[in-house]
Amino acid sequence: MSHETKPLWLVQPRLDAGEYRDKLIGSVVKYPNLPTERRIPYRTEKLPKEMVMDLDPKPVRMRNVAFWQNRMKDAKVSASFNDIMQFFAQRAKASKRQNVATVARMWHMDSPAEKFKELLKNKQYYDELFELLRSNHDQGYFITDIVTVANLETLERTENGAGAGAGVKVPLDPSTGIDVGAEASFHVSHENGSTVTYDEEMIVFLGYRLIRLEKLTGKRARLRTMFMGQKYGFSIHDGSDYWPEIKDGPVPGQVEPFLGSVPASVMAESEQREAPSGAGGPSARRSNASLLDEAIVRELNFDVEVVG
């Protein structure tokens, strides 16, 4: 079964989730990889989630952080994300708390086109947006998805699990001792209640829809502009998920190893030495990782790709 793929952008620099998560969801920014450089609403006292009911989604918590690395094609992005995860892994090891795991949390907005139309009914939001679009070649980027990373304490009875990601613990079936970490119900959980952020939680990815300002034509548009003002001669349109114009594939041999991943040359050499049965070997582990990724995508009901 195929799923829609959502593009995500690596944030530069990384942002404190406690300060920026509430501000960014539902906002429009000028630069997709520099969301705080220029964004709206900025002068408006209300946050977007306070303007539209049910705009702010509940987060999904994902324990398998290697899932994100598997969706990166750019070597520089992969290396940058690797640095982030190494930072969190070191923090987890240094923590005095027991069972600390590095997890990702994702906020995904449902029906973003309808939510955006509702936001445009707020005059202050509309006015700030119009000003931003006119200053940015008549386009902007509406934030619909946020992914953060945090170190959280877990309560499960656990053992170390290969392939679960740096700092992640994988539970064992108490009756068999077999790794049951491949279950999506363990790796993906839907949070309920009020949304909170945690100490040192960091925003790493954002997802956007492209917003365009189009000039109206015709006699009626000219009359609207003449009698009502310049902004009435334009129309704001919500587009589709924002992808880069050119999506380059990975450069062979340049993506750094991460969370158990291995360079292609080393992997090929290992496969040549692997016995035909291959039980528990690299091929089996990659197969298990692929099945886990598929289970996570089914649970999310969409796939993702880190595009820049």
pLDDT, mean of residues 186-205 = 84
Identify whether the C-beta of residue 130 lies closer than 8 Å to the C-beta of residue 237: no
The percentage of the chain sitting over the pLDDT mark of 90, rounded to a whole number, equals 41
* pLDDT band at residue 291 using 50, 70 and 90 as cut-offs: confident
pLDDT above 50 for 100 = yes
pLDDT, mean of residues 269-281 = 48
pLDDT above 50 for 252 = no
Which range (28-37, 42-51, 129-138, 148-157) has the least confidence? Answer: 148-157
Give the residue, 173 or 84, on which the prediction is more confident: 84
Q: Give me the half-sphere count of Cα atoms (radius 13 Å) on the Cβ side of residue 84.
A: 29
pLDDT, mean of residues 121-145 = 95
* pLDDT band at residue 27 using 50, 70 and 90 as cut-offs: very high
Mean pLDDT over the full length of the chain: 77
Residue 167: closest CA among 104, 106, 107: 104
pLDDT, mean of residues 5-16 = 91
Give the residue, 92 or 47, on which the prediction is more confident: 47
pLDDT above 70 for 256 = no
pLDDT, mean of residues 25-45 = 93
Residue 211: closest CA among 233, 236, 179: 236
* pLDDT band at residue 226 using 50, 70 and 90 as cut-offs: low
Residue 51: CB atoms within 10 A of its CB come to 19
Give the residue, 29 or 170, on which the prediction is more confident: 29
pLDDT above 90 for 35 = yes
Within the chain, how many helices (H) and strands (E) appear?
10, 12
pLDDT for the residue numbered 236: 86
pLDDT for the residue numbered 134: 92
Q: Distance (Å, rounded) from C-alpha 237 to C-alpha 256?
A: 40
pLDDT for the residue numbered 50: 96
Using alpha carbons only, give the angle 72, 81, 308 rounded to the nearest 5 degrees. 50
